[in-house]
Amino acid sequence: MKQDVWDALKNLREKAERVYQERMGQGQIFIQVGSATCEHAAGAIEVADEFRKHIAASGRNDIILRRTGCTGRCSREPIVGVFRAGEMPIKYQLVNRELVHKIFTQHVLGGEPLLDHVLDGPIERLSKYEILNCGSLRCGWKGEQICGGPMANQLKAMGVPPDVCRVTSASCFGACSIELAGKCTHILVRPQNVLYRITSLADLEEVVREHIGKGQIVERLRVKEEPVSQDFFELYGEIAFFNRQTRIALRHNGIIDPTSIEEYFHYRGFEALAKVLAQDDPDWIVDEVTRSKLRGRGGGGFPTGQKWALARKSPEKTRYIICNADEGDPGAFMDRSMLESDPFNVIEGMIIGAFAIGAHRGFVYVRAEYPLAVERVDHAIRMCREWGVLGKNILNSGFDFDIEIRLGAGAFVCGEETALIHSIEGERGQPRIRPPYPTEVGLWGKPTVINNVETFANIPAIIIYGADWFSRIGTNASGGTKVFALAGKVKQTGLVEVPIGITLREVVMDIGGGCPNDKKVKAVQTGGPAGGCIPASMLDLRVDFDTLNKAGSIMGSGGMIVLDEDDCMVDIAKFFMRFSEDESCGKCTPCREGTTRMVEILERITTGKADESDLEKLERLAKLVRKASLCGLGRAAPNPVLSTLTHFREEYLAHVRDKRCPAKKCTALIHYEIDPEKCVGCTACARNCPVECISGERRQPHVIDQSRCIKCGRCFQVCRFDAVMRS
């Protein structure tokens, strides 16, 4: 044990804390505005400026404007948090300039929250207290047993009215351990943010009597150690979209200022690094990560500990570590969010990985399309160097390590590890045959470990909270959580971090809220262009590397796109196949030619020019490309076709047999006609038709000239009498 390392950390922490306290100053009221690519797109920069002006005009020095990254509730951005000491934290959604003024005058100065504008609101009233009870598998059931039913009922029985205390069920706080499992449950009381361990009804009664009744904290039942996601629940605990999540990789997103190393230190930053450097035992790290059952989050799912062990074994002593932030999957943006909202966490994970495998140089390979992420990581690296956690003699441990940023340049294939290595070397990003794997022969021929951003983001938490804790979240074969980017036809879009092994239904229906406009979920597309479509009938599938593979899809990097009845599965398959065709690097024939021919067949199907034999051809070709391609891109490219052929064959048959598109998406197969019974002759369709193929007198039924119709659907959209029929 090297005491020097702990002393170094202690010094840095004290220095950081002084800056942190000074910055928070006399702050009694904090206004927090999100800052990330998506927040900026929604107008967060103007909102922050407006608050700055208001604060300056008010002349108050106890109101502090803070910046955070994004929480992942993208469709409601810009999100603004107003925190007044001792009161419930309030988050507002879709804030604009006008709302800034209202929030500032009424809430910040006046103390009256605007209940109509709160995140995922409106809400009717704000209760004085809120109890979040654990609803997870491990101790949630115990809560019901202790209370003899749902906790809300029990509180009612104790005579606590809902405007005094609201009860909300949340997911795991991370406060339980194997010894405690099944013996107790946990509740978090807000806004004092006290976590209690409840073992009997008497305990609950005591909390209600003392804390809720008299405002006295019950020290006897208080959990002293701070669990991993407490900070998150303190701020976002009441919101259903968030409290069903388990946040580990994203635990600081939307809480800390991503540009402030002082704040990162404040939230136990670099404690994990100090721990491993003080122990000075790389084998212990590899062992711990192996026991945590962490599997690569970039999509491959290779056990991280095993990868590190392989690199350690190499006789070659010059080794490299690379963070793969070339997030190219359309529909996935979790890596961007992590780099923009909590870059220090990823860097800390990387340093720990470097120490474990004995690397002294590391690279972050990040997309050039993410300028803000590049800026934040670059800034974070410079701060780390300044503070002595990167560079020579890190934290007085004698260990040297530094990180360089390398920009990608828009080649999807560079997410494949051997292509990525070529790209860092300054070559065309084309993959090569494996083995040898990069852990033996990688960057410049040296052993190289490549891990995804999210994999690194999990490492500090595993080191601090332990492999046992991490491995128990998730399934037997795969520990921890996975972040999904939920998008498409779903009410609540954004970043969702859930334990591996949760069902698709929980993610899409419970957290995502199902499809908007009361449409039915048709399928869920996971894993981007390398993944497949899982039909609604299989929503109870548990999300895990192996189960998704069996269903013909993959976990991938975590894109999750919900499709509804209006989406044509053949069209979706064509969309992904076009993507793969475009992104195929051209090195191997099966992928280069196979994807092109598959696009051609799909094109024929969607324009009604194919027959049933084309389906066979398509399937045979897809299987061939899967078997014979050189790298992961080609081998996975047929997945969208094969999975839709398996699960939605009737739809393909409708296209080829009946020349009909059931979802009415494939324009060539759609036919528009005007119902003379319903048409009132308002001329709206004729005026809007871009090719002027609709004719008819005013107040007389109109007619579409089918030979000239381009099937744009404009008439269908503008008709207010449902007279235009689409078939």
- Applying CB under 8 A, the residues found at the interface with other proteins are 37-38, 40-42, 74-75, 77, 327-333, 336, 368-371, 406-412, 423-430, 444, 485, 487-489, 493-494, 525, 528, 559, 561, 563, 567, 572, 575-576, 579, 583, 585, 712
Instruction: Report the distance separating Cα 161 and Cα 718, nearest Å.
Output: 51
Question: What are residue 90's phi and psi, to 5 degrees?
Answer: -110, 135
- Nearby residues of 24 by Cβ (< 8 Å), 6 or more positions away: 30, 64
Nearest-angstrom CA–CA distance, 554 and 455: 17
Judged by beta carbon, residue 2 or residue 385, the one nearer other proteins is 385
- At its nearest, how many Å lie between other proteins and the CB of residue 489? 6
Measuring CA to CA, which residue among 21, 1, 11 is closest to residue 64?
21
Nearest to 639 by CA among 600, 586, 595: 595
Name the minimum Å distance from CB 75 to other proteins: 5
- Which residues face 235 on adjacent strands? none
The nearest distance, CB 689 to other proteins, in angstroms, is 14
In the complex, what is the shortest distance from the CB of residue 150 to other proteins, in angstroms, rounded to a whole number? 32
Residue placing its CB nearer to other proteins in the complex, 227 or 362: 362
Least CB distance to other proteins at residue 498 (A): 17
Minimal distance, residue 107 CB to other proteins, in Å = 26
Minimum CB–partner distance for residue 233 and other proteins (Å)? 22
Count CB neighbours of 576 within 10 A: 26
Q: How far is the CB of 462 from other proteins (least distance, A)?
A: 26
Q: Which is nearer to other proteins, 95 or 395 (CB)?
A: 95
Joined tokens for residue 494: 């954004």
Residue 184 vs 413, nearer CB to other proteins: 413
Residues 6+ apart with CB under 8 A from 415: 298, 324, 326, 327, 328, 329, 557
User: Which tokens in the block code for residue 646?
Assistant: 């398996």
The smaller minimum CB distance to other proteins, of residues 222 and 406, is found at: 406
User: Where are any strands of DSSP class E within 500-599?
Assistant: 521-526, 532-535, 559-564
Q: Is 461:248 a contact under the CB 8 Å cutoff?
A: yes
Smallest gap from Cβ 375 to other proteins, in A, equals: 12
Residue 472 or residue 489: which is nearer to other proteins going by CB? 489
Cβ atoms of 47 and 65 closer than 8 Å? no
Pick the closer one to other proteins by CB: 103 or 572. 572
Dump the DSSP string for 239-290: -HHHHTS--STTTTTTTS-TT-HHHHHHTTTTHHHHHHHHHT-HHHHHHHHH
Residue with Cβ nearer other proteins (92 or 412): 412
CB within 8 Å of 98: residues ≥ 6 apart: none
Is 162 within 8 Å of 127 (Cβ atoms)? yes
In whole angstroms, give the CA distance from residue 548 to residue 531.
Answer: 9
| Closest separation in Å from C-beta 565 to other proteins | 12
Nearer to other proteins, 186 or 367 (CB): 367
In the bound state with other proteins, the residue whose beta carbon lies nearer, of 238 and 326, is 326
Nearer to other proteins, 412 or 545 (CB): 412
Cβ partners under 8 Å of residue 687, min gap 6:
none
Reference 67, options 306, 208, 237, 258; nearest CA is 258
H/E run at residue 32: strand 29-34
Shortest approach of other proteins to residue 488 CB, angstroms? 5
- d(CA 120, CA 91) in angstroms, rounded, equals 9
Q: CA torsion 97→98→99→103, rounded to 10°?
A: 100
Smaller CB distance to other proteins: residue 146 or 561?
561
Q: How far is the CB of 330 from other proteins (least distance, A)?
A: 3
Kindly report the three-state secondary structure assignment for every residue of 151-212. Answer: HHHHHHHCCCCCCCEEEEEECCCCCCCCCCCCCCEEEEEECCCEEEEECCHHHHHHHHHHHH
Question: Residue 287 or 375: which CB sits closer to other proteins?
Answer: 375
Inter-helix orientation angle 343-357/453-465, to 10°: 80
Let me know: does 118 contact 107? Beta carbons within 8 Å: no
CB atoms within 10 A of CB 690: 9
What is the C-alpha separation between 510 and 58, in angstroms, rounded? 42
Nearest distance, CB of residue 332 and other proteins, angstroms: 7
By beta-carbon proximity to other proteins, the closer residue of 273 and 487 is 487
- CB 157, min distance to other proteins, A: 41
- CB-wise, 490 or 704, nearer to other proteins? 490
CB of residue 351 vs other proteins: minimum separation in angstroms? 22
